């Protein structure tokens, strides 16, 4: 059974349907990609899964337990971690304290320094987080999420602001995290990263899931091409 399973999620904002009956599953040990044109509903889906937005209908299962009625903190305690497209780092704390404060929310949080080493952030451990450039700040958010020992990890455009070399390194990191047994869900616009790092890719368009499958199949999928390029008349 999938570690993370959202089914038939519908969200409306005013009269607009942001998500219509969307299903998403993520297996432990895999990197699951979630792509789609702007406004497709990717971040909204993350917000539903992490408990920041309440869906009209649908449910979210985490590790086999129904968490639909739980708040974000309770979901986090059950092993759900996430990062944000618009950075939400603790700017007035140092990088190390960003991780420490997260770990302290839990009884079994991880120590900061090994994670910082792993993410290559050791050199800025004592720098105040809001002076860290965006690309690395995204790694700080990732490190913060890792410090609470997540089982599933939602990453919202983690590579934006990173340069080519950093992105390459980041792709390897995602594979390592999956190999550790995490279910990683990746929203990303950098297609090279998505195609290289993901085991399976889901495509959202206008709030609907239009395709799912391995990267190669997605790349050749006519519906996906239409979603990105517009329907040929």
Partner 1 sequence: MTAPHANLLELSGVHASYGRISVLHGVDLAVGAGRIVALLGPNGAGKTTTLNVAAGLHPADRGDVRVGGRVVAGADPVELARRGVCLIPEGRGIFPNLTVRENLRMMTFTGADRAAVEEIAYARFPKLAERRRQTAGTMSGGEQQMLALARGLATDPAVLLIDELSMGLAPLVVAELYELVVEIARTGVAVLVVEQFASTVMRICDLAAVMVNGRIERVDAPGDDLLADLSALYLGSAT
Partner 2 sequence: MDKFLTFGIVGLSTGGIYAVISSGLVLTYTTTGIFNFAHGAAGMMAAFAYWQLTGGWGLPVPIALALVLLVLAPLFGLLIERLIMRPVQGVGEVERLVVTIALLTGLIAMAQWIWDPNVARPLSPFFADREAIRIGPATMTWHQLVTLLVAAAVALGLYAFLYGSRLGVGMRATVDDPSLARLNGGDPVVAAKAAWVLGTMLAALGGILIAPSIPLDAANLSLLIVSAYAAAIFGRLRSLPMAFAGALVVGCTESYLTGYLPQNEYLPGLRIAAPALLLFVVLLLFPNPRVRGSVRITRSLPTPTIRGTLVFGACLLVFAAILATTLSDPDVITYGQIFPMSIIGLSIVVLTGFSGQISLAQLSLAGIGAVVWAGAGASGNPLALLAVVAVSAVVGAVIAIPALRLSGIYLALATAAFALILDGWIFTMPVDWLFSGGSAEVTPIFAGQRVQMMFAAAVLAALCLLVVALRRGFFGRRLIAMRDSEAACATLGGRLLVTKVAVFALSAGIAGLGGALFGMQARSITPDHFTLVSGLPIFLLVIIGGMAAVGSGFFTGVNLAGIMHAITALWPGAHHASSLLVGLAGIGMGRHPEGVVPHFRESWDPVRRFWIPLAGIVGALWGLRLLDVVNGWVLAFGAVAAAVALRELARPRAPKSVADVPLEWRGVRRPWLPADREEVLDGLARS
Interacting residues toward partner 2 by CB under 8 A: 50-52, 71-77, 80-82, 84, 88-93, 97-98, 100-102, 104-106, 128, 130-131, 133, 141, 144-145, 148
Q: Is 213 in the site for partner 1 (CB under 8 A)?
A: no
3-class DSSP state of 132: coil
User: 155 or 211: whose CB is closer to partner 2?
Assistant: 155
Cβ 106 to partner 1 shortest distance, Å: 33
- Contacting partner 1 within 144-203 (CB under 8 A): 160-161, 189, 191-192, 194-195
- 64 near partner 1, judged by CB under 8 A: no
Q: Which residues pair with 33 in a beta bridge?
A: 186, 201
If contact means CB under 5 to 8 A according to the sort of partner, which of partner 2, partner 1, none does residue 71 touch? partner 2
Residue 229 binds partner 1 (CB under 8 A)? yes
Q: Kind of pairing, strands 4-13 and 57-62?
A: antiparallel
User: Which of residues 7, 20, 21, 37 is near partner 1 by CB under 8 A?
Assistant: 37
Minimal CA–CA distance to 184: which of 155, 144, 213?
A: 155
Structure tokens at 42: 């990717």
φ and ψ of 69, to 5 deg: -90, 0
CA 146/CA 99 separation, integer angstroms: 8
Could you tell me the maximum CA-CA distance found in the chain, to the nearest angstrom?
58
- Do 97 and 90 meet the contact criterion of CB atoms below 8 Å apart? yes
Task: Give the interface with partner 1 as residue ranges (CB under 8 A).
Answer: 14-16, 37-39, 133-134, 160-161, 189, 191-192, 194-195, 206, 215, 218-220, 224-225, 228-233
């Amino acid at each position: 059974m999938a570690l993370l399973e959202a089914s038939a999620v519908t969200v409306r904002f005013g009269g607009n349907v942001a998500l219509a009956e969307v299903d998403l599953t993520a297996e432990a040990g895999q990197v699951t990609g979630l792509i789609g044109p702007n406004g497709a509903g990717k971040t909204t889906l993350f917000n539903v899964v992490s408990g920041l937005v309440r869906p009209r209908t649908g449910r979210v299962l985490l590790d086999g337990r129904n968490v639909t009625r739980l708040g974000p903190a309770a979901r986090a305690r059950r092993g759900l971690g996430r990062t944000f497209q618009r950075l939400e780092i603790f700017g007035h704390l140092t990088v190390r304290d960003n991780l420490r404060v997260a770990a302290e929310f839990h009884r079994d949080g991880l120590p900061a320094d090994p994670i910082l080493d792993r993410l290559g952030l050791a050199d800025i451990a004592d720098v105040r987080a809001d002076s860290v450039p965006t690309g690395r700040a995204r790694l700080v958010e990732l490190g913060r999420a890792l410090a609470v020992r997540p089982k599933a990890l939602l990453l919202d455009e983690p590579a934006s602001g990173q340069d080519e070399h950093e992105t390459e390194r980041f792709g390897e990191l995602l594979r390592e995290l999956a190999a550790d047994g995490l279910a990683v869900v990746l929203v990303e616009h950098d297609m090279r990263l998505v195609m290289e790092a993901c085991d399976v890719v889901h495509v959202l368009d206008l709030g609907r899931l239009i395709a799912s499958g391995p990267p190669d199949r997605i790349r050749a999928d006519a519906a996906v091409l239409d979603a990105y390029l517009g329907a040929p008349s």
